[in-house]
């Protein structure tokens, strides 16, 4: 393992970010998707969402609208989606997606794109 990878892992552990989240990247499997450029352009009020490779598709039982706020269930825990994390443009993918960030204080939501509740 190179010294730079060891340093990255050490820095990520100090920040409370698991290495797999710190090194999340598009591995090329969606390079030919007609929606790739759209996913790459998605932004919430919390910043860019990255791409389809970084987001997680979630099933209807794992998200809901409670009052005026969305909630998602990740790793068995319900998390309230901050209003500024909700993507308001039309969902061209059709499925509900969430872009979580895991840290020492738990999981937060960078972006959330609702699908259609069935």
Is the whole model's pTM more than 0.85, yes or no?
Answer: no
Sheet of 106-113, strand order: 56-57, 97-103, 106-113
Domain-embedded: residue 39: yes
**How many separate domains does the chain show?**
1
- Looking at residue 118, what is its pLDDT? 53
* Reported confidence tier of residue 2, pLDDT bands at 50, 70, 90: very low
Domain-embedded: residue 82: yes
Domain-embedded: residue 14: no
- Looking at residue 76, what is its pLDDT? 93
As a whole number, mean pLDDT of residues 84-113 equals 93
* Reported confidence tier of residue 117, pLDDT bands at 50, 70, 90: low
Domain-embedded: residue 99: yes
């Amino acid at each position: 393992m190179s010294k730079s990878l060891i340093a990255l892992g050490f820095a990520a552990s100090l920040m409370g970010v698991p290495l797999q989240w710190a090194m999340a990247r598009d591995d090329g499997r969606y390079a030919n998707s007609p929606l790739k450029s759209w996913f790459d352009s998605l932004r919430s009020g919390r910043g860019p969402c990255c791409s389809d490779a970084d987001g997680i598709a979630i099933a209807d039982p794992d998200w809901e609208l409670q009052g005026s706020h969305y909630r998602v269930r990740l790793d068995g825990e319900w998390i309230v989606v901050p209003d500024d994390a909700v993507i308001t443009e039309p969902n061209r993918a059709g499925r509900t997606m969430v872009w979580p960030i895991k840290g020492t204080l738990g999981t937060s939501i960078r972006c959330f794109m609702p699908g259609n509740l069935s």
